[in-house]
Amino acid sequence: MTQTIGMIGAGLVGKAVARLAVSAGYHVVVSNTRGPESLAELARELGPLARAGTVEEAIAAGDIVILSLPLASFANLPANAFAGKVVLDQTNYYPGMGGFHRADLDSGELTSSELMQRQLSGARLVKGLHNLSWLHIASNARPEGSPERTTLPIAGDDNAAKGAVTRFIETIGYDVIDAGALAESWRIEPGTPIYFWRYAPHVPEGVSGDEAKRIYQQPGRPVSKDEARTLIADATRPSPIGGTLEGMPQVHIDLFLEQASPETVKG
């Protein structure tokens, strides 16, 4: 039976996942806070397997509901609508962005996905597809059996939900490794060895801006399952906790500003 993916958030990351999903044969309902009308062009681009809907429609339709939005917006989600749903959490904690800070995240009392699970208490939440850029979500995907296929980590407390998310991520182009429970998901958050940098290609110093952009949009070197296990096991909790824009390469920021919509840039 064909499954449906409910997408909440249609920024660069959400669009990249939606494109992979429809290419793999999934139905997709895309949504955002501005309403279906703002996504009509995207739905047409994605083709007959996709349609635009409200956030509530995306949740109701989704066999898996993907959160591809800023963590700071967690409290605005219709929490009761997620009861029983498998939720793939792509959010990351970037303290200070949009003025968003939380003491329980800064202290390590909670991981960001534990916070999201607490908010969506009836959901079956899995952290994943959060640790590489929209560019590399698209460029690193490979069919099963390809020697260039790379490995992504997930974390969660519900084994059946992790199985569903694993099958989805495998189908759209990646191998998957289980990094443990949500309490251990700090091992795959910003500032850890398996977050972001390992999936991006190296851009040599001294190249022109256009050449840097060309190189940066290429696939990174594949991560094997064994390497992913080692990166996760060897992780130490970052201090301070959370990501920073200063930690991103300038070419990444330049491409983001070029490709993001004005609404995304404004947050």
pLDDT tens digits along 181-218: 999 999 999 999 999 999 999 999 889 989 999 999 99
In the chain, what is the greatest distance between 2 CA atoms, to the nearest angstrom?
A: 52
Whole-number pLDDT of residue 97: 79
Domain boundaries, the chain: 70-266
pTM (2 d.p.) = 0.95
- Cβ burial of 227 (10 Å; 0-12, 13-18, 19+) is middle
Q: Is the pLDDT of residue 265 over 60?
A: no
Residues 65-84: pLDDT tens digits? 999 999 999 999 999 999 99
Q: How far apart are CA 182 and CA 238, in angstroms?
A: 16
49 and 71 in contact (C-beta within 8 Å)? Answer: no
Q: pLDDT per residue over 144-163, tens digit each?
A: 999 999 999 999 999 999 99
Using pLDDT thresholds of 50, 70 and 90, give the confidence band for residue 99: confident
Cα distance between residue 72 and residue 255, in whole Å: 23
Q: In this structure, which topology does domain 70-266 adopt according to CATH?
A: Rossmann fold (3.40.50)
Q: Is a pLDDT exceeding 90 seen at residue 51?
A: yes
List pLDDT tens digits, range 215-263.
Answer: 999 999 999 999 999 999 999 999 999 998 888 889 999 999 998 865 5
